[in-house]
Amino acid sequence: MTYAFMIEPQDFIALDNEDELIEKCQEWGLLSGKATKLKTFYYKGNGLNMPCTIIGYVDHMAAVIQLDNGQKHCVHPSYLKEMQASSYSARSISNAGSDRSIEPSTSDTVVPVPPAELTQTPDALVNLDEIPVNLDDSDDTDTDEFSSGLKGDPDGLVEEYVGPQTGASSEAKPKAKTASKAKTLKIDLPEGKVKMSAVVKEFTTVPNHFSDNDDEVIIYEAVTITEPDVIDVGEAWSSHSATVKKQELEVGDVITFEAKIIKKKLTRNPVPYKINNPSKIQKED
């Protein structure tokens, strides 16, 4: 059976390693911090109540699950966490059609918000789920303009579209040209994991509108891809995950590691690239 409401990702980061999957589930609150094994998770949205498998994520706003029919679906980790509660089914049924914070139920087809609407109302609440427009990340592509990497709206989530601003005054145009000249050349990032080196520049936090706590991140400088080809990246950032915390890094530490690097801007910071799932981390003397 094929489900019409499914939001299949165009591209996502797979969690093939069980340790990485457990760590991600702990980060999302789906497993306790002491958990060493995975458990069975359930998808209870859109009138369903069936086991599902977490296979990866698009970004911090969208986990990717797979149902027993093989279909992949994007869902916010917070929604998936709520679905694990035994009382979720009864609550969602009694509130069907009135609680838009869980899942959109106006139709079987999820309608994406046109980019123009989002750029015209950057400070307004998103129409479907009343979620503030997120000004943090750009897409994983190498273009200056951003559009969501998901088809439709994953369980009530609409990502920001940052495009050319309309209605700008003639006085603002010269400034835009000056800023564009200051931009560095675009980098063709390799796909998949590569060997890298970097210097720890700063430990900081960024707001997470879907959690009570801010997200811990690390900003790196002198980031270089060393293999298969040498590419100077400049600055990049990564989550300060449990795996990274084990290294007890300090500002100024020079590290080498393997990771995938993508174009993704850090919230409220001019850091354009993100380092995903660094592994084999070693501190240089």
Q: Which band of pLDDT confidence, cut at 50, 70 and 90, is reported for residue 20?
A: confident
Q: How many CA atoms lie within 13 A of 272 on its CB side?
A: 15
Task: Identify which has the larger pLDDT, 281 or 140.
Answer: 281
Average pLDDT over residues 269-281: 91
Task: Identify which has the larger pLDDT, 79 or 177.
Answer: 79
Percent above pLDDT 90 for the chain: 30
Task: Identify which has the larger pLDDT, 246 or 213.
Answer: 246
CB atoms within 10 A of CB 94: 9
The predicted-structure confidence for 60-106, as pLDDT tens digits, reads as follows: 889 999 988 889 999 999 999 999 988 886 444 444 443 333 344 43
Claim: this prediction has a pTM higher than 0.75: no
- 3-state SS, residue 285: coil
- 3-state SS, residue 130: coil
pLDDT value for 155: 53
pLDDT value for 257: 94
pLDDT value for 159: 41
Average pLDDT over residues 110-137: 42
pLDDT value for 161: 39
pLDDT value for 87: 83
Task: Classify 19 in phi/psi space as left (phi over 0), alpha (psi -120 to 50) or beta.
Answer: alpha
Q: Which band of pLDDT confidence, cut at 50, 70 and 90, is reported for residue 185?
A: low
Q: Name the least confident of 128-132, 193-197, 268-272.
A: 128-132
Percent above pLDDT 70 for the chain: 66
* CA–CA gap between residue 261 and residue 191 (Å, rounded): 8
Q: Which domains does the chain have, with CATH numbers?
A: 13-94 (2.30.30), 194-283 (2.40.50)
Q: Which band of pLDDT confidence, cut at 50, 70 and 90, is reported for residue 138?
A: very low
Angle (CA) 226 137 186, round 5°: 45
What's the N-to-C CA distance of the chain in angstroms?
57
pLDDT value for 60: 83
pLDDT value for 131: 42
pLDDT, mean over the chain: 74
Q: Which band of pLDDT confidence, cut at 50, 70 and 90, is reported for residue 53?
A: very high
Average pLDDT over residues 133-151: 41
pLDDT value for 55: 93
Retrieve residue 11's tokens: 């591209």
Retrieve residue 259's tokens: 């990771």
